[in-house]
Amino acid sequence: MTALVIGAGPAGLMAAEALADAGHAVLVAEAKPSPARKLLMAGKSGLNVTKDEAPADFAARYYEATWLQPMLERFGPAEVRAFCEGLGQPVFTGSSGRVFPVAMKGSPLLRAWLARLAGKGVTLKTRWRWTGFDGDALAFDTPEGAKVLTPAVAVLALGGASWPRLGSDAAWVPWLRDKGVGIADFAPANMGFRMDWSAHMAKHLGQPIKGACLLAGDRQERGEFVLSERGLEGGGIYTVSHDLRLGAPLALDLFPDLTLDALRDRLARQKPGDSAANRLRKLGLSPAAVALVMEMARPLPSDPAPLLKRLPIRHAGPRPMEEAISSAGGITRDSLTEDLELRALPGVFAAGEMLDWEAPTGGYLLTASWATGLHAGQAAARRLG
């Protein structure tokens, strides 16, 4: 073994392929009984592999992590499409610009990829759990007992801190900190928000809110979300979760296609004497949306139009990390070289959600995991000469 990759998710497998393509013997160590569990879980509702949009718009979705842009330019939406199709998995672009395999699920793509990696000589070991360092070596618990490895290069791709049941448990944080690697504390990303619902909301929980525009500070996003027992969940909420976590207030424009004056005109045409709930229903709001308005702003003001254009949503903070789709935080940019090599550990590279970057759902997470895995794997191969 010349090269070791720890973690058999998208970033780790991409790094392994880059090393194998350069002619190196690669061992991939995976703690779980099977690889890429988070990828497979994401694919249960349709594997969104990337987003079909202009490179500048795509790169802008990574918030402060502008340093990812060169990697995304080398392996962005077009390259993701070609990668999937090279595995015999044709893709299509939905109306929102999101790109999916025609098969929708992640399992056909993963099976084809694992077969290709095996054909290139990549060895995959499951139930190999990294337990930290033994001096400068890497220690593992394996079905055959404890093992200590000293590869020429290693790529760490252990994921962030979300979905710990699937392997991304951030157990590696203290081991790297002890070696002098800077790590930003993890926080939930693409998560729901807690709500302290009153009893009258019970019959509306599980219902979607459609057609609204979510307002979080300066960010405005159209999207659907769900009223659940746990709070507010779904794609619309996830798109603004970064800003909400940083303290931006949340509000809803329930009539984003109407001006304030147009909405006032509609209200003025209603018959006098209707209850507040009936007035809202006659505007076209769903029962769940009516209930949400009444929950947040009872009694309604005499002129409810400004409220309906900017309804304040009082939430109780993010849902816990283990429920989040992804995490913010991780190995800091200044702890890495341009090649994603750890400055404190020459010959050790890192990729994927271990790194301190954040992106919304919509294919951005998976694309950046692949892009950083490719970058780290190719850099490790160059180090090997």
* pLDDT attached to residue 42: 87
d(CA 58, CA 66): 11
Higher-confidence position of 385 and 347: 347
**Beta strands across the sheet bearing 123-126:** 123-126, 26-30, 3-6, 153-156, 348-350
Report yes or no on 240 lying in a domain: yes
Higher-confidence position of 44 and 325: 325
Report yes or no on 12 lying in a domain: yes
Reply yes or no on whether the pLDDT at 33 is more than 90.
yes
Compute the average pLDDT of residues 303-309.
97
Reply yes or no on whether the pLDDT at 80 is more than 70.
yes
* pLDDT attached to residue 272: 83
- At residue 79, the 3 state secondary structure works out as helix
What pLDDT, in 10s, does the model give residues 199-209? 999 999 999 99
7 and 156 in a single domain? The answer is: yes
Reply yes or no on whether the pLDDT at 344 is more than 70.
yes
105 and 245 in a single domain? The answer is: no
Work out the burial of residue 361: count CB atoms within 10 Å of its CB; fewer than 13 is exposed, 13-18 middle, 19 or more buried: buried
Q: Select from 263, 290, 313 the last residue of a domain.
A: 313
Reply yes or no on whether the pLDDT at 1 is more than 70.
no
Reply yes or no on whether the pLDDT at 224 is more than 70.
yes
Buried b vs exposed e over 297-314: b needs ≥16 C-beta within 10 Å?
A: eeebeeebbebbbebebe
Interacting residues of 156 by C-beta distance below 8 A, sequence separation 6+: 6, 7, 172, 348, 349, 350, 351, 354
What pLDDT, in 10s, does the model give residues 160-181? 999 899 999 999 999 999 999 9
11 and 136 in a single domain? The answer is: yes
Pairing of strands 50-51, 26-30: unpaired
The pLDDT confidence band at residue 44, using thresholds 50, 70 and 90, is: confident
Report yes or no on 194 lying in a domain: no
Mean confidence (pLDDT) of the chain = 96
215 and 155 in a single domain? The answer is: no
Compute the average pLDDT of residues 231-255.
97
Q: Select from 313, 338, 362 the last residue of a domain.
A: 313
31 and 159 in a single domain? The answer is: yes
d(CA 22, CA 189): 35
* pLDDT attached to residue 384: 96
Point out which residues pair with 331 in neighbouring strands: 183, 355
Report yes or no on 347 lying in a domain: yes
Reply yes or no on whether the pLDDT at 285 is more than 80.
yes
181 and 36 in a single domain? The answer is: yes
257 and 297 in a single domain? The answer is: yes
Work out the burial of residue 44: count CB atoms within 10 Å of its CB; fewer than 13 is exposed, 13-18 middle, 19 or more buried: exposed
The pLDDT confidence band at residue 18, using thresholds 50, 70 and 90, is: very high
Report yes or no on 318 lying in a domain: no
* pLDDT attached to residue 234: 95
63 and 91 in a single domain? The answer is: yes
Please identify which residue in the block is written with the tokens 């095996």: 118
Give the H/E segment covering residue 253.
strand 250-253
Report yes or no on 319 lying in a domain: no
Compute the average pLDDT of residues 337-341.
98
Compute the average pLDDT of residues 268-282.
91
Cα→Cα distances 242→45, 53, 185, 371, Å: 23, 21, 15, 22
Q: Which of 230, 254, 250, 227 is nearest to 239 (CA)?
A: 250
82 and 12 in a single domain? The answer is: yes
d(CA 274, CA 32): 60
CATH of the domain at 369: 3.50.50.60
Domain interval for residue 119: 3-188+324-384
169 and 94 in a single domain? The answer is: yes
Report yes or no on 130 lying in a domain: yes
* pLDDT attached to residue 271: 85
Domains identified in the chain, total number? 2
266 and 335 in a single domain? The answer is: no
19 and 141 in a single domain? The answer is: yes
DSSP strands (E only) in 102-247? 123-126, 129-134, 137-142, 145-149, 153-156, 183-189, 207-209, 213-216, 219-222, 225-228, 231-233
Point out which residues pair with 213 in neighbouring strands: 222, 253
Q: Select from 313, 333, 356 the last residue of a domain.
A: 313
- At residue 39, the 3 state secondary structure works out as helix
Report which DSSP code applies to 165.
G
Percent of the chain predicted with pLDDT > 70: 100
* pLDDT attached to residue 71: 98
Contact 130, 296 (CB under 8 A): no
d(CA 307, CA 264): 11
